[in-house]
Every structure is written in structure tokens, then in C-alpha cells.
Structure 1
Amino acid sequence: MGWLPLERYRRPEYTGANRCLPCTVVNSVIAVVIGNTTFTLLVGLNTRPTLAATVAIGVIAIAGVQIWLRGYLLPGTPTLSARYFPPWVLRAFGKEPFVVDGTRSESGIDTERPLAGANAVRFGERTAYGTLEDTFADEWQAAIEDLASVETTVVDVFDVDGAVQIDERGNHVILTLDGRPFGRWVSRAALLADLGAGRVLASRYDGWGELETAERGQVLAQLRRYIDACPACAGEAVSSLDSATSCCREYEVVTVSCSDCGTRLSEVPVAAVDEHEAVS
């Protein structure tokens, strides 16, 4: 446990894994400008250059501690970054884990092919949306209930090697593999849903073993949009349109949540959903 006054001053939503690199860069530049301005003003007041430099360095150091503890120097910087930084800059500075709720599309995989091949989802002829098959839903729920070790199942489902560590931050779950970011889920129930689904897909779809780790993550995230029962309480899963806010931007998302306990099971940006359906 850290020193209590510092812990109270710290802003975990803007630091650690949640730190916004564009905001950090902006605030660091501001800190240097303030330090340089301080030096110039002091020299202009006939302060000895060595003393002026010492004070300026101290100002920059204090600003650095502020950025380290709170993620920003000036309040409102996250909003500033969201408003004025173009999307490509935000993406260039992003620190997304390797498998992250289907919000990344680098693999370019057709997620419908394995889901249809496993008889998991029945897709319509004129729409990209589909319906979860009853037999698959039953096997999926049974696989979730049979999960013994989350860490071991992660290694098996995603075909990776290394030490898996689970870090629950609020409602979100962060997985690290040998100390490096591996995946992020909107809830522990969402993670369990993916692990159970991965077990079933491996037995139903012959091409599962040929998929890369990122591709498996995308298929599982896509499948989770069709889940009908909450892994946490077995309540009904319902979809809706909502908004989500990161440190740098606000965006609309299509969500799936439990109508009973409120656990969020899926959260996909509307832009990603529209792009998928357009391609489909």
C-alpha cells in the first residue's frame, strides 16, 4: 500500500494502464514551457542565472510529479486532447491490449465464417446480424459452468505460453501475459463467456487451430454480441445503444448487458459495428 496522502491525490482513471499518452505529451510540453517562462522572468528581474535555473528545474519537477500522480497538469486536458487531436494521432499513441473486446480489426478476419462453420450463429441472407443457435447456446453455457481455472483456460483458448495474471479494475478485467498487456474485457463475465465459447468453437470448428491469437479474440468478441444469458447470474442479455468515454474521447457503443444484474457483456464502438456490417 502506498503512502495514504499520495493515494488520495492520485487519479487512477488517468494513470497506470489508463494513462493517456497524448495527454501526457501535451502536459509535459506545458510543464517545460512553464519552466522556461519562469527562468526567463526571473532573469528579467535580475535574478542570478544559476538561481533562476534551479527554480525553473524545481517548477518542472513539481509539474512532473503532478503528471505522474494525476495524469495531467492542467484540469480539462483530456477534453482538450479529444477535441483537437485527430483520430490518427490518438490511435498512434494508443496502448490497446492484444485482444480487446473486438474493438480492433487488424487481422481483417471474416468473423462470420467460423461462427457459421461451427453452427454457432445463423446469419440472415440480407443482414449481417444473426441469431444464436440453441444447441450452441446450451453447450456454451455448460462450458462456462465447467471452467475450472481461468488462467489455464486462457492459455488453451488463445494458444499462448506464459504466466497469466488477472487484474480486476472496477468492472473491467485486464489480463497480462508474462507481465505484458494481453487482453481487456468489459467484465469478468465477458471473459468467462469468451473462454467458454473458445472451448466449444475448438470442438465444433475445424479451422479454429489455424486462427491466430488476435483472430480468435475477434471471433469470440463477435460471438459475445449474440449471447443470450449472463454468465454471472443467468439473467437475460439485452442489447442497447450507449456512450462510452475514454481519457481522450467520447464515442457511441453497442452494448450487451444483463437485464437482471446489469453486468456489461459486450461493448463495441458503433463505427466498428457499421464497418463490419458494411463489409458483410
Structure 2
Amino acid sequence: MGLNTRPTLAATVAIGVIAIAGVQIWLRGYLLPGTPTLSARYFPPWVLRAFGKEPFVVDGTRSESGIDTERPLAGANAVRFGERTAYGTLEDTFADEWQAAIEDLASVETTVVDVFDVDGAVQIDERGNHVILTLDGRPFGRWVSRAALLADLGAGRVLASRYDGWGELETAERGQVLAQLRRYIDACPACAGEAVSSLDSATSCCREYEVVTVSCSDCGTRLSEVPVAAVDEHEAVS
């Protein structure tokens, strides 16, 4: 008796599903809705790197540069650090220039190119409270809010004028320095309310973890969100 070479119903359905998925991936570069947001926030760097999706800047928590962020911040007279603690105090003159630079921002897209020294078309996508940036269609960075992004761009312009070594820093290093500086911000770029630090929890696709946050006491906008483990590691190194 000969073998039945006709495809079964299950095989036909499977082929159809694969074909539809292939078309979706070809059209938009991913299959599941929200995949760019999920991958940028929850997947480890080596997974993102394997698929060419690793953002340069993710709120400063995934940079592998190992840069000493205190050096440029101290060199620019932006933060005054104590001798026996990793905590610091934002210098008043820097705070004033920082706020003025934020208010003076004309084009976010152009400023992103200048501050991070990159080339390409910048696209901003606001999803919920988070802001996702792409550069020529590829993931570039994620910020916890638009206000956080504006804070980094304003700070980058001030650091460029105050710190001689700014031009020598790579893109990921700049992102890490700016994210570290944002932990010391004292006024919300969105409403000028007071920025306060607190301990909170965040939930990923598979776990819950503690984060050190900086949020506006008036409008509630989150300005910084760093896992406690990353903060502890920075303090241990410092």
C-alpha cells in the first residue's frame, strides 16, 4: 500500500500560520504586538545583541562600558560627591543651567543626534508613560517618561559645554552618565514640581523587583528608575 503524500489538515494550518507570521515579521520586524517595548525593557543585552536589537541607551541600566560616571559629573561641577559615600548633591549653578537648557530645547530629534553624537533619522514613540526611540528604524533607547528624555537632552547640552572630555565619550557612555545625573534632578521638566526619591517595585514579564525611583511630587511623572541591584553595584564600585 502506497504512502499518503497529501498534507494533513494540521500541517496545512501550520504552514498557513507560519506564512502569516512571516509576512508580519517582514512588514514590521516583529510578530507579537509590543515586542519592541518588551524586548528593550526585559531581555538581557546578549539576547538583544544576537538579534541586532540592543539599544544604546536604556535609562543607563544596560550599558556595559564600565565608565566611572562620577568623573565627568564631578569634572563638570555638576554633582558634589562626598568622600565616603556614592551619594552626591547637585550643584546649584548646574541645576540652573540644566533647567534653562531643557526649556530652550527646540527640536528633540535634532538634539538627540547632537547629544549622543549619532547619525540617522530619529523617531519618537510614546507608549503609555515610556518613550521609545529608534534610529533609522533600529532600537536606540528607552526612557521612563518624556520628561526623563528631555532631562537627559538638556543635561547633555550643559555637560558638552562644561566637561572637556564629553566629546571623547561613546554613545553608551553618554547615556550612562546622563542617567546617573538624572538621579540628582531636583525639578520636574514637565511641571517644575519637586523631584523626590523613593523605593518602589517594578514588574517584568516574569518577575518583580525593587527599583530606586525619582518622581515628581506634583504631577507624579517618573524621572528615573534604576534596579536596586544596579545601585548597590555602583556604590560598591565607588
TM-score normalized with structure 2 length: 0.83
Deviations 1:175-213 (A, max 9, x none): 111111111110000000000000110111110010001
Percentage of identical aligned residues: 100
Contact 1:63 1:73 in 2 (8 A): yes
Deviation at 1:102, TM superposition (A): 1.2
Contact 1:165 1:175 in 2 (8 A): yes
**Aligned equivalents of 1:202, 1:79: Cα separation in 2:** 30
Contact 1:147 1:153 in 2 (8 A): yes
Contact 2:37 2:132 in 1 (8 A): no
Provide the residue aligned with 1:142 in structure 2. Answer: 100
Task: Go from structure 1 to structure 2 and tell me whether the alpha carbon gap of 1:63 and 1:256 turns closer, same or farther (over 3 Å shift).
Answer: same
Contact 2:57 2:176 in 1 (8 A): yes
Runs of 4+ in 1 over 6 A off after TM superposition: 43-49, 58-94
Contact 1:78 1:247 in 2 (8 A): no
Task: Go from structure 1 to structure 2 and tell me whether the alpha carbon gap of 1:245 and 1:45 turns closer, same or farther (over 3 Å shift).
Answer: farther
Task: Go from structure 1 to structure 2 and tell me whether the alpha carbon gap of 1:152 and 1:240 turns closer, same or farther (over 3 Å shift).
Answer: same
Contact 2:57 2:63 in 1 (8 A): no
Contact 1:82 1:248 in 2 (8 A): no
**Aligned equivalents of 1:196, 1:101: Cα separation in 2:** 15
Provide the secondary structure at the position in 1 that maps to 2:176: helix
Provide the residue aligned with 1:241 in structure 2. Answer: 199
**Aligned equivalents of 1:122, 1:90: Cα separation in 2:** 36
Task: Go from structure 1 to structure 2 and tell me whether the alpha carbon gap of 1:199 and 1:85 turns closer, same or farther (over 3 Å shift).
Answer: closer
Name structure 1 gaps, 5 residues minimum.
1-42
Deviation at 1:135, TM superposition (A): 0.7
Alignment of 1:216 with 2:174, yes or no, is yes
Provide the secondary structure at the position in 2 that maps to 1:105: coil
Deviation at 1:90, TM superposition (A): 9.4
**Aligned equivalents of 2:42, 2:61: Cα separation in 1:** 22
Deviations 1:203-260 (A, max 9, x none): 1111001000100000000000000000000000001111112223322111000000
- Root-mean-square deviation (CA), in Å? 4.5
TM-score normalized with structure 1 length: 0.71
**Aligned equivalents of 1:221, 1:200: Cα separation in 2:** 14
Provide the residue aligned with 1:126 in structure 2. Answer: 84
Task: Go from structure 1 to structure 2 and tell me whether the alpha carbon gap of 1:80 and 1:192 turns closer, same or farther (over 3 Å shift).
Answer: closer
Name structure 2 gaps, 5 residues minimum.
none
Task: Go from structure 1 to structure 2 and tell me whether the alpha carbon gap of 1:244 and 1:69 turns closer, same or farther (over 3 Å shift).
Answer: farther
Task: Go from structure 1 to structure 2 and tell me whether the alpha carbon gap of 1:193 and 1:61 turns closer, same or farther (over 3 Å shift).
Answer: same
Task: Go from structure 1 to structure 2 and tell me whether the alpha carbon gap of 1:160 and 1:91 turns closer, same or farther (over 3 Å shift).
Answer: closer
Contact 1:82 1:249 in 2 (8 A): no
